[in-house]
Homo-oligomer: A and B are copies of this chain.
Amino acid sequence: MHPLESVPNFSEGRDRATVALIGEELARFAKLLDVHSDADHNRSVYTFVGNEEQIVDALLAGIAAAVERIDLRAHEGVHPRIGVADVVPVVAVRRDDAELARETARIAARRIGDELGLPVFLYGEIGDGRGPAFFRQGGPEELQRRIDAGELAPDFGPAKLRPSAGGVIVGARRPLIAFNVNLAHADLDAAKEIARVVRERDGGFPGVRALGLELPRAGHAQISMNVEDWEASALHDIVAAIEREAEARGVEIAGSELVGLMPAGAAIAAAGALLRISSFDASHVLELRLLE
C-alpha cells in the first residue's frame, strides 16, 4: 500500500510530447495513476502514489522536465498560475499519515529550492494556512513585486523568479476533489454567478472553492471547483445546487468532469443518495472491505 499521493499541476495542457515526458519522469520513481490535461486551462494534473522517497524523487524529476520544456512567458491559459510547476500538494492516503505528508512536502520543497534553483512557497497546513490563490494573485510579475517590496519571501530557493519557470507552491493537504461542471454554452457570466453561489467565500458550501471560467477551445463555460471537505459538502449536493442555479438562469449543463481521482467515500455518498439507502458507506462495499 502506498502511503502518500501527490497531485502536481503543471502549466502545459496542449503539447502532448511535454505532457507525456513529465509523466514519464514521474513514473520513473512513483506509480502514476492518472493524467488529466486541459487545453483551455493549458494545464495538466498528474496523480501518483508512493512512499516518502519515491514522492520526492518523482517531483524533482517531473519539475526538472517542466523547467526544461515549458516557458512560462509563452504560456497562456484560463487557469491562474505562477510557475511551470504551479502547485505541488502532497496528500496522505490515510489520515494517520498526515504528518508524513507534511514532512515529505517540506523535504520536496527544500530540494526544489536548493537543487532546481526555483523560489518555493509553502502553502496550507505547512504555510501559515495561506492558499495557492494568495501567491497567484496578479501572476508572476506581481509575485516578484511583492517579494521585492518585502511583502512576502520564498521559504526555499532564490528570491528572484526565473521568468521562464516562475515559482512553485508546495504544501500538504487532505485529499480534495477537483471537479468541474460544464455549461452547455459559453455563458461566462452564468458560470461566474453560479461559482459565487456554491463557493464558501461567498456563503456557499463549506470547503468549496469555485471559479467561473470560459473555455473557448471546448466552446463552453465551466464552474471549476476544489471540494476540500467532501464529508461536510457532499459532491452530489453541490451538483444539485448547480443544476438548480443553471435551470433558474435557463442554462443547460453539458456534464461534469473529474480532475484526477475521487476518494471512495465521496462516490459512495453519491451512490447512497441516488439509491436512497440510508447510512450507506464504504463498509458496505465489498472491495473496500477487502482492503481492511
Contacts and interface: CB of A to CB of B under 8 A. Distances in A.
A268 B282 CA distance: 12
A116 interface: no
Contacts of A275: 179, 235-236, 239, 256, 270
Interface in A30-58: 33-34, 49
Contacts of A261: 284-286, 289
B285 A49 contact: no
A interface SS class: mixed
Contact of A271 (B34, B49, B270, B291): B270
Contacts of A270: 270-271, 274-275
Contacts of A33: 286, 289
A93 interface: yes
A287 interface: yes
Interface in A168-221: 175, 179, 181
A287 B258 contact: no
Given A258-B280, A291-B291, A239 B274 contact: yes
Interface residues of A, number: 43
A179 B267 CA distance: 19
B175 A286 contact: yes
Contact of A286 (B5, B277, B278): B5
Given A286-B264, A287-B291, A289-B261, A274 B2 contact: no
Given A239-B275, A274-B270, A284 B258 contact: yes
Interface of A: 1-2, 5, 33-34, 49, 93, 175, 179, 181, 235-236, 239, 253, 255-258, 261-264, 266-268, 270-271, 273-278, 280, 282, 284-291
14 contacts: A1-B290, A5-B286, A179-B275, A236-B275, A253-B276, A256-B276, A262-B284, A264-B285, A264-B286, A267-B267, A267-B271, A267-B285, A270-B270, A282-B287
Closest 10 CB pairs of A and B: A267-B271, A270-B271, A274-B274, A264-B287, A261-B286, A256-B276, A256-B277, A271-B271, A270-B274, A236-B274
